[in-house]
Amino acid sequence: MKSRRKFLIHLGTGLIPVTFGFTPDSLLFKTDNPPKDKKLRVALMGLGSYANRVADAMKDSKYAKVSGVISGTPSKIADWKKRFDIPDKNCYNYGNFDAIKDNDEIDAVYIITPNALHHGQCLRVAAAGKHVICEKPMAINAKEGQEMVEACDKAGVELLIGYRMRFEANTLEIVKMREAGEFGEIKFFQGLSGFKIGDPNQWRLDPKLAGGGAMMDIGIYAINGTRYMVGEEPIWVTAQEVKTDPIKFKEGVDETITFQLGFESGVVASCLSTYSMNYLDKFFLNGTKGFAELKPATGYGPIRSETHKGRLDLPHITHQTKQMDEMAKIILEGKKPTIPVDGKDGLKDLKIIDAIYQSVKQGSKVMLDL
């Protein structure tokens, strides 16, 4: 197992506070305008459980399709070739995928590998001239994230982060209501993100592959949600860590972190990230005129929502289907999403995560400059 992890890491690394500025009209997604005469042709890198979920969801996509695969496991490639009718020339391993540069049947690569591999793989995909879609977190720290943004900018390709909730109907409706002033002056936000993790030998509990623990995997939802629900960028953070099982959650793998984010307007967010408690998937936004709650807030759905005006519970569309359709429009048509999903926005989450870990270590407030 250790030799395989070293092999994967080796291959993968080869190579001012502002508001979001949403307008209510921009919150209305139009789904009847397909990107010209083609679909976005996507190669999936890393064929684990989430890649399977994405691929199955893309069967219902109007504007994107699975056109290639990249994996270090030959048996998985053989299975995917049959399931998705993928030709041999669109199948690669981690050693030779730079050759996609000469493949005109692949437009973008969706990186769905362990966190520590994202950086090196993104740089290689960008160098090959293909658009990058990368699962969250986009990297294990802000330095790597910045290098990914710069590499994609230099190559003239898009870098999008797999923030599926930013296309979800209930989430967008609450953001629309906030922008319309229906909650009044925002005062407080709560984000609870956690579950009890299972297999102690999985890569998510290996600091060399995960780059951390619960914060990188599930806590990032609370960070991300705070920003788009409040509609501001935080200017400071404080954080506290609790570890009850130092054997399972070894050095460099956080079990539970509570953290607070402060905003220039005076809003305070109180959040929790954990790998040791279930039933924690809730966002709560409170203002002087009303409130909004999402519970569950980030699960695969359906998402449940309630406001001071009553329940929303808008129709459920598979998140990954919606995400890939909208990302296809971003890449092929230059469409601007309601809530940003680009690498520069993902980099802000990494800066906050870096600051949270710093605050835990030094035991004091850390100022943010996003």
Domains and CATH numbers, the chain: 2-164 (3.40.50.720), 165-313+343-367 (3.30.360.10)
Burial of 323 per CB tally in 10 Å (0-12, 13-18, 19+): buried
Backbone angles phi, psi at 209, to 5 degrees: -100, -35
Determine the Cα–Cα distance for residues 40 and 15; give it in Å rounded to an integer: 26
> What is the pLDDT at residue 34?
52
Structural tokens at position 32: 């009847």
The pLDDT, as a whole number, for residue 37 is: 63
32 has a pLDDT exceeding 90 = no
pLDDT above 80 for 30: no
Looking at per-residue confidence, does 23 or 195 come out higher?
195
Tell me the per-residue pLDDT of 109-141, one tens digit each, with 9 for 90 and over: 999 999 999 999 999 999 999 999 999 999 999
What percent of the chain is predicted at pLDDT more than 70? 90
Report the pLDDT averaged over residues 5-29. Answer: 40
DSSP code of residue 215: I
- pLDDT at position 38 is 86
Residue 36 — pLDDT band, cuts 50, 70, 90? low
Which of 211, 275, 217, 209 lies closest to 241, judged by CA? 275
Q: What is the pLDDT of residue 80?
A: 97
Query: Is pLDDT above 80 for 19?
Result: no
Q: Output the pTM of the full model.
A: 0.90
CA 68 from chain centre, in angstroms, equals 22
